[in-house]
Amino acid sequence: MRAVVPQLPEFLRELLTSDVAFVVLFVVFVLEGAMLLYIAPSELLVPGALVLIGEEYLLPILAIAVAGATVGQYGLFLVAKYGGREYLLSRSWFRLDESKLDRFDGWFERWGPLVVPASNAMLFTRGMLTVPAGFAEMSSRRFLVLSAAGTLVFETALAVLFVFGGRVVG
């Protein structure tokens, strides 16, 4: 588990050990939530922060992770809600192709708003239902609550696995 740090880019490691670590962590999570962070897998961010900033900061790191990711997802949600499908698909920074977007739209149509926290709590689907929720014009308040709940489950699970798994394995 402690091999997390070498997998983070050098500049990110340096920033996360600086005096502005919590601000940088918040920005990183905003980018991750908005599906714009391509430099590090989301499942490495909380464990990497725990190593670099310190496990004694577990609760602030989790709070920053949930707040940042939720802000980022909310931004993407608003772009989907007001920009629409064609707008998103025409953007080079939006990395879901039409077939994947169709699949996630189908999930949202079938299961409704509950897929937002469920998808946020799982590897490989984190944030993917943000866009269909926006297309469906879900209320902002409901989206924010559901998004934050799923992100809290995901980030807490990563932290617990890292902290307790690292003690068992390491």
Q: Band the pLDDT of 3: cuts 50, 70, 90.
A: low
For range 56-60, the mean pLDDT: 95
The residue behind tokens 């025409």 is 90
Q: State the burial class of residue 1 (Cβ atoms within 10 Å of its Cβ: 0-12, 13-18, 19+).
A: middle
Residue-range domain boundaries for the chain? 10-169
Q: What pLDDT, on the 0 to 100 scale, is given for residue 57? A: 94
Please give the pLDDT value at position 169: 41
